[in-house]
Structure 1
Amino acid sequence: MRKSVFVLGTGDCYELCQPLLERHYDILGLVDTRSERVGQWLGAYRIHSLQELLVRDFDYLLVVSMYEALLLPVLANAGLDISKVLTLDECPELFAELNRRVFSPELASKLDAAYASPLVQDKTRLLFAINSLAGGGAEKALINLLKNLDYSRYDVTLLLFIKRGLYLEQLPPQVHLISLFETWEEVIAGMLVCKFTAPDELHEFCVRSSFDIEIAYLEGWAAKILAGGQGRKLCWVHCDLQRNHWTGPCFAPAQREAAMFARFDHLIFVSEPARRGFIERFGEPETAISVIENFFEQDVIVEKACEPLEPFGRLTFVSVGRMVPVKGFDRLIDAHARLMAEGGDHLLVLVGEGKEREALMAQAQRLGVGDSVILSGFQSNPYRFIARADVFVSSSLSEGHPLVIGEALVLGVPVMATDCEGSRAILNEGAYGLLVENSVEGLMEGMRQMSNVEARNDYRNRSIRAQCALDKRENLGRIEALLQGQRALLASVAHGY
């Protein structure tokens, strides 16, 4: 007999799973914890509140979301009977069908063919994995590293969880590219299934050849896949997971993320704040660790900064990054609008793409600063924008090792940044740039201070002094030592870690 259910979740995961849900269950309606959605209809189903469910008869509440770890306590606090709440992996027939769709014979054949390239003698075989090549700092850092590898010594394969990203075209031609998912349907289904699948099973399906070293260059999906199987494994951690725990949705409630990290032979943190944040969340790791900062291609940055761009024409603050909440661009627009209302006269230029872009455009219009806020979208060459800024601004709530601040320092541009651990570290406790309170008020005060030409000249000189600290040779040498397994060499320059 078919069970009657409510479905908690009205986003992409529900949209993808709706046909499967309807095949296996009688859907009574949908549930959303956001009050503004209650009473609306999504297709044939009304959206209900949690309180409405307390007086309704049903067999189960199915949680169809990547965020059930956050939702389950909310359900318990609302007084729902938790024994009637099921996650996708607790729906065997439905999950099996979804699993077959993701780990299909077609994908298996595609991967077999992709991994079938002939072995290269006398080279160390490296498998890198990353979630995508979208326009973020970790992705840019990987491209920089791949461009600096010695391909006479290494045979390199890159596994992408999602074949997407603006850095795809910058991959060195020697890198053999393999990807798992590409279309919207593939990505959403892949994330749902991989979330509930153990690392060993993921590795067995996704990695169909042997490598001397497997390198997860980012926490999250890439790390979960490469944590499975045998062999020597390295994992890079690019953010402060205590303050920006974005990887939680990659794991089912019963899975322990810390146990996944413990399966790597070496964890590499891109900053001391990233290391500390990891320990705060997961405890001291039992595996070997190092702190190796991302490096900068200074010659390339300076060369690209010289490419033409029309002058902005007045005092200009520039910020570059993905348009996601952790970057704090909404606060930066607020600060800009308040200063303009006080009689300020400057431009705010935001370079980047992301899910918040439309909301940020609407915010600027609503606050009456649509003419003085320029959203330039993703730029393959952001350096020409940074170089022409009077001030570079980082408004992030949290950072691991912000590459873009380092790039601004390379170009000798005055830098101001909200005070978070990653930004504080790269700015040497404020010696290389202005650190401000991590708030709208702090951004306002920093922008006021940087509106003074003498202050800008001071911080321009500080930025120039920072450049000798950004030389890439030491960190490249440490990565080379890791790849060659030269623990003694690595330890001699690892500053105690």
Structure 2
Amino acid sequence: MPHTSKPVVFIINSLEGGGAEGVMCRLLSIMKSYFLSQQTKVFLVLLDDVQQDHQAPDYVEKVVLNSKGSLLKGLTLLQSTLKKIQPQFCFSFLTRANALNVLLSKRVGYQAFISERVATSSHFAHGLKSLISKALVRVTYPKANTVVACSAGVAADLVTNFAVPQDKVSILYNPYDMDEIASKAGETVADLPHKPYIIATGRLAEIKNFSLLIDAFAKSATSYDLVILGQGELEQKLKTQANQAGIGDRVHFAGFKTNPYPYIRHAQFFVSTSNAEGFPNAIVEAMCLGKAILATNCESGPAEIIADEYPLSLDNFATKKFGCLSPVNDVESFTKGLNFLSNEQKQAHYGELSQKRAKSFSNAIFERKVIGIIEGHADKEATAYVHAG
């Protein structure tokens, strides 16, 4: 990007609690020195006027619209806003914001950079709303100037299933500040379990498949307890499942924590049983804290993080370069993983590998790649992972 005072705009549905919203705010914080050095005015446009759980940095001018989740209302409000700002480019996160960004780019006259944060095919799996969302992706995403995927798995899905040209795709892994995570992990919390425990985090929803985790935990020989951080519609069902399996006193549903890191820090190891991910922040955050990882080999992210491979096919539990993987929705294999990592020497070994791997996702690497994207010479090396088929 040449030295210019022409503004740039970042767009997202809202700053409600969520992974994509957190990454958007981290992106803006990391890019502060770059935009200030370019004398560039930066706007953050929120499509919906709802509770804001994340905080954008002070140098960013925030504009809050009130589209109430409506694509058409969002189109009208965002068009009016962007015509006033006249940006050089708009960089958006999430499907609705991405679609609007692309639709308005020619009309207003700017470059559209869009970022997909989920494996689209898996995320929009069922129902009329999912069909509409997939159609919207298929119509708009190929017309963006650049499509930024948060993992090679997400990129492959967009190329293979949504007709996004491969030469438009850049892969940008999420950024992590190891020092900040370690500092937050040192905070004192009053409700740590008294017994050694394994930890899992995430929304208590079908896609996270905590049901499999409870089944595997019940069948395992581990002596540890299990702590699950998160909230969601399946909480009571999962508690009932644990009680019926005879492990209700060993499975602790600790609810949502604004700072999960002390709980992760004190765990023996970290587990993830998701059926699908975009890029699983929780896995890398646990790696930053030196925790050994056992995860399902879902689309997308875990194989790239833990095995440094994509694509990767598994038919049983396996140890990999930086941790342990199990096939999706395979109770027996995940049980083997729980038994394997219940050995403290193995926890220490894979914990060291976790910390080594976490350094690959530093803020500095992230900043360099974002600059490459917005200056038009994005590093395309990672797209070697992507295979259209």
TM range (shorter): 0.7 to 0.9
Q: Structure 2 matches for 1:415-454, cutoff 5 A?
A: 415-420=293-298, 421-427=300-306, 428-429=308-309, 430-439=320-329, 440-454=331-345
Q: How does 1:117-132 map to 2 (within 5 A)?
A: 123-132=5-14
- Give TM-score scaled by structure 1 length: 0.65
**Aligned match of 1:223 in 98, 103, 110?**
98
> Highest relative contact order (Cα 8 Å, sep 6+), 1 or 2?
2
Deviations 1:298-349 (A, max 9, x none): 111111111113553333111122222211122212222333xxx6432211
Aligned to 1:460: 351
Q: Quote the offset at 1:165 in angstroms.
A: 5.6
Task: State the number of aligned residues.
Answer: 359
1:350 Cα deviation from its structure 2 partner: 1.4
User: SS at the partner of 2:231?
Assistant: coil
Aligned equivalent of 1:259: 139
Question: Which consecutive residues of structure 1, in runs of 5 or more, have no partner in the other structure?
Answer: 1-120
Q: 1:482 aligns with which of 373, 378, 385?
A: 373
Look up the equivalent residue of 1:278 and give its one-letter code.
L
The percentage of aligned residue pairs carrying the same residue is 25
**Contact between 1:166 and 1:380, CA under 8 Å: does it hold in 2?**
no
Q: Is the 8 A contact 1:353 1:378 kept in 2?
A: yes
Q: Which residue of 2 aligns with 1:303?
A: 183
Aligned AA (1:328) = N
RMSD over aligned CA atoms reads 3.0
Letter paired with 1:450:
L
Structure having the higher Rg: 1
Q: How does 1:3-82 map to 2 (within 5 A)?
A: none
1:227-376 superposed matches below 5 A? 227-229=102-104, 230=106, 231-245=110-124, 249=129, 252=132, 256-285=136-165, 288-309=168-189, 311-339=192-220, 344-376=222-254
Contact persistence 2:10–2:45 (CA under 8 A):
yes
Superposition deviation, residue 469 in structure 1: 2.3
Flag the 1:383–1:164 CA change in 2: closer, same or farther, 3 A: farther
Task: Give the match for residue 314 of structure 2.
Answer: none
Matched position secondary structure for 1:129: strand
Q: CA deviation at 1:442?
A: 2.5
Shift of 1:425: 0.5
Query: Is the 2:152–2:383 Cα contact (8 Å) retained in structure 1?
Result: no
Answer whether contact 1:136 1:321 (CA < 8 A) is retained. no
Partner of 1:178: 63
Q: Is contact 1:275–1:291 with CA below 8 Å preserved after alignment?
A: yes
1:139 CA drift (Å): 2.1
| Counterpart residue type for residue 157 of structure 1 | F
Matched, 1:155 2:35: no
Residues 1:287 and 1:211: Cα distance change in structure 2 (over 3 Å): farther
- Other structure's SS at 1:162 match: coil
1:353-407, CA deviations, whole angstroms, 9 ceiling, x for partnerless residues?
3333343334334444333222222222111111111011111111222111111
1:463-492 CA-to-partner distances (Å, cap 9, x unmatched) read: 133233233312211202323x242xx247
| Deviation at residue 287 of structure 1 after TM alignment | 6.3
For 1:383 and 1:254, how far apart are their aligned partners in 2?
35
Distance 1:284 1:172, change over 3 A: closer
The aligned amino acid for 1:214 is C
Give 1:437's aligned amino acid.
Answer: P
The Cα of 1:254 is off from its aligned counterpart by 11
Once residues 359 and 134 of structure 1 are traced to their aligned partners in structure 2, the CA distance between those partners, rounded to angstroms, is: 26
Structure 2: unaligned runs, 5 residues or longer: 310-319
How many Å apart are 1:246 and its aligned residue?
5.8
User: Which residue of structure 2 lines up, in the alignment, with residue 39 of structure 1?
Assistant: none
Q: Is the 8 A contact 1:412 1:463 kept in 2?
A: yes
Give the superposition deviation at 1:416.
Answer: 0.7
Distance of 2:58 and 2:226 partners within structure 1: 37
Alignment of 1:369-408 (within 5 A): 369-408=247-286
Offset from partner CA, 1:222-274 (integer Å, 9 cap, x none):
11221222311100112222333369727749955312112211001111111
Give 1:216's aligned amino acid: S
The question of 1:214 aligning with 2:96 is answered no
Give the TM-score of the pair, scaled to structure 2: 0.82
Shift of 1:443: 2.2
1:122 shift after superposition: 5.5
